[in-house]
Structure 1
Amino acid sequence: MRKSLALPLVTAVAVLGLSAPAQAAPADRPQELIAQLQQLLPADYEQRVAEFDRRLGIDDDLSDVARAVLNPDDYECESTQLKDWLNSTIAGWTDEDRLGASILLLVNTPMYDALFFPEPEQQRFFGLDGEYTTVLRRTFPDLKRFWDIDASGIEMLPAHGNAMLDTARTARVLQVVFGSSPEEAREAAEAVREVAGLPVYDNGDAPIFTFNAFAYSPEGVEVPGVGLPTDKIVVGDGVLAGFRSVGLGDVAPQAILGHEFGHHIQYQQGLRESDLPAPEATRRTELMADSFSSYFLAHRRGANMRWVRIKHFIDAFGNIGDCNFDSPNHHGTPNQRTRAAEWGTLMGVLALPPFYRVVPSRTLAASFDKALPRMVRPDAPRQVELTPAEKTAGRI
């Protein structure tokens, strides 16, 4: 897998609740716009997106998921503030609204556009109003200096939901992903613009469309119509808005960026290889990236955050835990991601003066693998079992 998500981009069916037949939407909802968009996309557009991602190496190997399903009863796993906030942003949507959003999510203009057609660096801004541009631009070179990889070719890109309102950008995405003709792509892109521009989607800025961040390395795989993409880290507006809304906006951008940079360390250092089956293998790489990020954030020669902010970024990692035990994209429960962040933090603060040595990434990864069983140990409350003597006493 060459693309790694900081947050699992949960399927439209799971997030938007489309398992039930759509109910009739109010008469003032422009249902015809959504129907028109469906008609203008290829009939098998969902399968084409899946096949396109497979060619790029974006999806995970599902071959051993069945035998690798984790037992949910072994783990304590509940919703988080961040997930509750995301659900609240779509709570008032009708089934028709959710259907339209699911189609826009599959076309995925914001992410594909950032991946294949990056804007010039001077035009890039992070956050809906550019509020995180300064902190991310300051943190990115710090990460490059801190770690022992060649990061000169990695680009940092934003993903903005309102990119869906730009028909030229959507059209070129449709040509690349679906192989549409220029004429077909322009017509479908206009339909995307009209649907994304509906008030319910906040002109494309509804958080669900960019509630994601990922690292990508092409590893020699060229994309027809694009060529060989560069190594990238893409950060969506939606996930930044979410963390700000739950009070973690002061540290979450740096934590997300550090996590995604951790994946590029894994790419270059060959740290993704594992004998673990999915989803344990994905969980390992994600928790390792959490640890790498936390190590940088706490280290004296890294971000050098103080304890109040350390607590905040540990909370940030816990908030992106998930309970998708039967998914190959399972990233770890909230408790497990919290433990990984705590472990990385302790490794960072233990760096001693006068030189505050930075541990080589391979060495840190080896230490992480030794600690991993403790991070992922079952933690669900167990039913109390009585001893034979206790059972006998209970009958007296």
Structure 2
Amino acid sequence: CALSICMITARRLEPVVYDIEQTEFAQQLQHAIKMRDDLSATTNKQQPPQASTPCSSPSSRWLKSIIADVSEEDLTTFFDNHLHVLPFVYKLHVAPRQYDQEYFGLDGEYTQEITSVHNQAQEFWSDSGVRDEIYLLSAHGSDLADRHDKLVPTLELLFRDTYDSDYTVYDHAADIQELITRLPGGYNFPLLTFNAFATDEMDDEEDDSSIIIGDGYFQFQQALGMDSEGPEYAHAHEFSHHLQFLLGVSDTQSGIAQVAKKSELLADAFSAYFLAHDQGGNMVSDEISNVHSVAFSLGDCVKSSAGHHGTPIQRRCATVWGAELADDNEGMDKIDLFEFQNRFDTWYETVDDLSDSCQHLHSAAASRSYRILSLQVMTLLIGGFSVLL
């Protein structure tokens, strides 16, 4: 990378950069980069055969495929300058508040879907004490194309007084835009906006409680063919972090929900409970099954990392547990948040022992009949009968 741009990155950044880089999706991206670096370091070395692992992360595979299309030099410059943070900092701390003009997806194709599920969630959880005004925000790589009004103010906020006459903020902005033009897709490069997170009220009185989703998340779901229920799941999951703010169980820094395995699985459970509930999302069987698959796609296999947020199986099973809780309480009052958390805590005690046999919820009636059928099959097997399904 250019010497001047590298010197800029060595100086102090605002804490918001580090906060955003601790969110779930940013952690996944960092893991993917580390895996690429580790692979590069061992390319020319003969390695002993490795035992296969049962854990496989769709999001990690996708990230690696995106990263593979970028040169090592450009990728280093990309992350040294925190380009994957800039669109989110712009929207949260620089952009004027124009909530009615927010759009979701590169062409706004998910705006109606996100707005609808947001209104449903606000109404569904209204009795729980959740804030009346949780705002929807979107992050777009295209915002970085506006050098004067968007990119420069964002850089000035993050790097503040680090520029001088030899290398101005406009020089920095020009270098960043030149780099972006070399990326696959340019300003629509998915890694610019591959993130989604919840924000509580921050220090600045201008900052509101919000849910922010970047275009990169939708591009990821499209690539996996999961964009039918993927947007609703993303919103419901981030809205669930606001429930955790209310419960006081979410790990936060500067108002941004941070990644932690238990809090992510609890958010999965909350989201599936809402989406499956007849008073909430009221999703039908195929839709709920897709929600389970979306949750699975976001799990990671880096269990030893402090940023681990649950394996694919654990993420899926958390949504299965939440959806079945809604199924079991069909027609009844919604479960109190604290009661929900207590039940989840009991379930979570065995989360590390889960296998891939975690069942999908097919429908209210089918789920109950499937459980009955499973018992019947077990009885037949114990009795010495072979069963073909």
The amino acid that maps onto 2:134 is: I
Cα distance in 2 for residues equivalent to 1:324 and 1:173:
32
The one of 71, 81, 86 aligned to 1:109: 86
Shift of 1:366: 1.3
Residues 209-237 of structure 1 show CA distances to partners (whole Å, capped at 9, x for unaligned) of 21111111135x23xxxx54211111011
The correspondence of residues 1-396 of structure 1 with structure 2, limited to 5 A, is 34-35=1-2, 38=5, 42-45=8-11, 48=13, 51-53=15-17, 59=22, 78-106=55-83, 108-118=85-95, 119-147=97-125, 148-167=128-147, 168-180=149-161, 184-198=168-182, 200-219=183-202, 221-222=203-204, 227-272=205-250, 282-353=260-331, 356-377=332-353
For the Cα contact (< 8 Å) 1:165–1:193, is it kept in 2? Answer: yes
Residue 330 of structure 1: SS of its match in structure 2? coil
Structure 1 residues 258 and 332: CA distance shift in structure 2, 3 A:
same
Cα distance in 1 for residues equivalent to 2:304 and 2:118:
34
The amino acid that maps onto 1:153 is: E
Residue 180 of structure 1: SS of its match in structure 2? helix
Cα distance in 1 for residues equivalent to 2:155 and 2:338:
40
Structure 1 residues 37 and 245: CA distance shift in structure 2, 3 A:
farther
For the Cα contact (< 8 Å) 1:218–1:229, is it kept in 2? Answer: yes
Structure 1 residues 333 and 107: CA distance shift in structure 2, 3 A:
closer
1:24 is aligned to none
For the Cα contact (< 8 Å) 2:17–2:85, is it kept in 1? Answer: no
Cα distance in 1 for residues equivalent to 2:16 and 2:229:
34
For the Cα contact (< 8 Å) 2:266–2:344, is it kept in 1? Answer: yes
Residues 318-348 of structure 1 show CA distances to partners (whole Å, capped at 9, x for unaligned) of 1100122233221100111111011001011
Deviates more, 1:181-190 or 1:365-374: 181-190
Q: How many residues align?
A: 316
For the Cα contact (< 8 Å) 1:104–1:196, is it kept in 2? Answer: no
Cα distance in 2 for residues equivalent to 1:352 and 1:59:
37
The amino acid that maps onto 1:87 is: K
TM-score normalised to the size of structure 1?
0.73
Cα distance in 2 for residues equivalent to 1:105 and 1:212:
13
Shift of 1:77: 5.2
The amino acid that maps onto 2:261 is: R
For the Cα contact (< 8 Å) 2:87–2:143, is it kept in 1? Answer: yes
Q: Which runs of 5+ in 1 are unaligned?
A: 1-33, 61-74, 275-280, 381-396
Residue 235 of structure 1: SS of its match in structure 2? strand
Q: What is the Cα-based RMSD across aligned positions, in Å?
A: 2.8
Q: Which runs of 5+ in 2 are unaligned?
A: 24-51, 253-258, 357-389
Cα distance in 2 for residues equivalent to 1:77 and 1:58:
28
Runs of 4 or more above 4 Å deviation? 51-54, 56-60
Higher RCO, 1 vs 2 (CA within 8 Å, ≥6 residues apart): 1
The amino acid that maps onto 1:156 is: L
TM-score normalised to the size of structure 2?
0.74
Residues 44-81 of structure 1 show CA distances to partners (whole Å, capped at 9, x for unaligned) of 24x525x4546x69859xxxxxxxxxxxxxx9653333
For the Cα contact (< 8 Å) 1:171–1:182, is it kept in 2? Answer: no
Shift of 1:272: 2.9
Structure 1 residues 239 and 195: CA distance shift in structure 2, 3 A:
same
Shift of 1:151: 2.7
